[in-house]
Amino acid sequence: MQSTLSTVEIKPKSTHKYSIIWMHGLGADGHDFEGIAPELHLTAQDNIHFIFPNAPIQPVTINGGMEMRAWYDILERTLERKVDIQGIYNSASLITDIINQELAQGIPAKHILLAGFSQGGVIALHAGINFTYPLAGIVALSTYCPTVNELKQPSDKTPIFMAHGILDSVVDVESGKAVFNTLTELNHPIEWHDYLMEHSVCADEIKDIAQFINKVLVD
């Protein structure tokens, strides 16, 4: 396992007050969501340090062992039946290291938000919910969470935004909804959004993400 992750970053134009760490999906890289930052038109845009980590390069079983950027191995197309749990823990630990780097720069945990798409959403949920202190928020897009029943349940919980395409043929919408239902039962402050789209991101979703981030990234 890599000891550190390379990153794509957008530095704040003004005083660094907030940090957003955004994880890409399987086979992509940190540039995948770099272009979404200006589209969000966030209230605190100029004060945000955007960090887009590159997942480690590793063989992926369902792709014939081909090496690509992946947060963990995908062992079966059923997703939940046989899961690389250790890989999820390993990558979540690397994201925790990035959070700690931001804390060391004087950014409070409540000013740090995790976001992730697909595999990256799994890591955002796992790392964010398990973090020692509550964060500003977690944005989990077109994703699921095979470790949901292993997550710590702190009394002061991080707000979560989950969104999914109802036509998603890669990660079934019901897999995402099951995670939402579990976290709701555990009293996490969580909201659900779905859209008429496949395994992707749409304009209406970007507006809703921006609204959520504007709500949670406050002094």
Residues serving a catalytic function are 118, 168, 199
Question: In whole angstroms, how far apart are CA 146 and each of 60, 100, 134, 143, 198?
Answer: 17, 25, 21, 10, 21
Tokens linked to 170: 């890669």
Pair 209, 113: CB distance under 8 Å: no
d(CA 32, CA 35): 7
Going 147 to 150 to 151 to 153, the CA torsion angle's sign is positive
Helix (H) or strand (E) holding 181: helix 173-185
Q: How many CA atoms lie within 13 A of 72 on its CB side?
A: 28
Pair 201, 117: CB distance under 8 Å: yes
Which has the closest alpha carbon to 101: 36, 21, 216, 219?
Answer: 21
* Residues 6 or more apart whose Cβ sits within 8 Å of residue 91: 55, 56, 71, 72, 123
